[in-house]
Structure 1
Amino acid sequence: MASVSFENLAPQVSRQICKELQQLISDPPEGIKVILNEEDISDIQAIIDGPAGTPYASGHFRVKLVLGKDFPSGPPKGFFLTKIFHPNVSQQGEICVNTLKKDWKPDLGIKHIFLTIKCLLIVPNAESALNEEAGKLLLEHYEDYFQRAKMMTEIHAKVSQNQSNADAHLNEDNSPTEGPTASKKAATDRTVLADKKKPVVKDKKRTLKRL
């Protein structure tokens, strides 16, 4: 599943992709967060939030795009790195959607691809199923499909409670819980967290601009 290096792409294509990634980071679509690999800018990944009203709701799914040497004339390949029970996603994670096959157009951008994958979570297509079991359940026993997909989401795509609440519990263990010292430490912790977060975006943008 290794992605082709940007060195194998035309310079103008590489610049366009970097520009798109920078825009996605500064102004991300709702429910989609691009993850930039600063060591390999061609490693295009994102976290897609499961849409409400679907069995994937409250899940967070990591997806990856693999660019071929003929990109953008040829479509990229899409993969779910997070396990998911979906008619259009194989057990190996490969995504089957017309936008990445017969309906591909060279002017479709990275943003459009991620939005298409998110829409696939809302409206699965049983007619082009890579997971035959999921496709059959979707058509014949929707409630069973829904429960199976929901169970997989609960197991593989939910952020753990400990992880999601990590910031909230910074001061709970081995630290003062009240008084001036605790207040001062809490303020310090918030400053440290803010300082840790700020350089990340700057570094990402700086990395993109270098390419």
Structure 2
Amino acid sequence: MMSSPSLENISPQVISRVSREIRELVRSPPEGVQYVENEDDNLGEIFANMSGPEGTPYEGGMFRVKIVLSEDYPASPPKGYFLTPIFHPNVAEAGDICVNTLKRDWGPKVTMSKILQVVRCLLIVPFPESALNDEAGRMFMDSYEEYAARARLMTSVHAATTGGAGGGGGGEEGGG
């Protein structure tokens, strides 16, 4: 995973913007998203817990997500990562997230709240044609039931919110 810019490398305008967006995330988070305070006090990394949407293979799971600001944020998009292992076409085994909002659709006016909302929507509607996890992408298109069963299994093992398993885990890679 890429390292985030240190506080001394972030302009006062960006510090102000990120602080404002964090306050907004705390006050009015997107559905199914909860801001998690960064213990390192590093404004270059934003953490959130994301609940698996109802009616998806991720239902009942709680996933930890990390947004890492680029050196020239907001001119360039941040990077997104799932820290909790997840079986999803648009999430690499190492956790990298592929979503247009963080790529070609990026604009400096896109907020942290919007980014997290879009990432959670990806759990509802994956885009297997732009897969980072080829196996999940193929399975999604060839045998949705098999894909859903595998995603449910990964969710129950790594992201279950009851029974003490997973709990949104931090930092493990892979998990397949």
Both proteins in one fold, TM over 0.5 = yes
**2:50 alignment partner in structure 1:** 48
* SS of 2:80 mapped into structure 1: strand
Structure 2: which 5+ runs fail to align?
166-176
**1:32 alignment partner in structure 2:** 33
**2:123 alignment partner in structure 1:** 121
Is 2:15 aligned against 1:14?
Answer: yes
Deviates further, 30-39 or 49-58: 30-39
**1:63 alignment partner in structure 2:** 65
Matches within 5 A, 1:1-211: 1=1, 2-42=3-43, 43-161=45-163
Larger radius of gyration: 1
* SS of 1:91 mapped into structure 2: coil
**Structure 1: 4+ residue segments shifted above 3 A:** none
User: Which amino acid in structure 1 is aligned with residue 115 of structure 2?
Assistant: I
Q: CA deviation at 1:162?
A: 5.3
How big is each residue's C-alpha offset from its partner over 1:179-207, in whole Å with a ceiling of 9 and x where there is no partner?
Answer: xxxxxxxxxxxxxxxxxxxxxxxxxxxxx
Q: CA deviation at 1:27?
A: 2.2
Structure with more of its chain in helix, by fraction: 1
Mapped partners of 1:75, 1:105: distance in 2: 8
* SS of 2:59 mapped into structure 1: coil
User: What's the TM-score once normalised by structure 2's chain length?
Assistant: 0.88
User: What's the TM-score once normalised by structure 1's chain length?
Assistant: 0.74
Distance 1:132 1:162, change over 3 A: closer
Distance 1:162 1:78, change over 3 A: closer
CA contact (8 A) 2:30 2:116 kept: no
Q: CA deviation at 1:3?
A: 1.7
Q: How many residues align?
A: 163
Q: CA deviation at 1:38?
A: 4.6
Structure 1: which 5+ runs fail to align?
164-211
* SS of 1:63 mapped into structure 2: strand
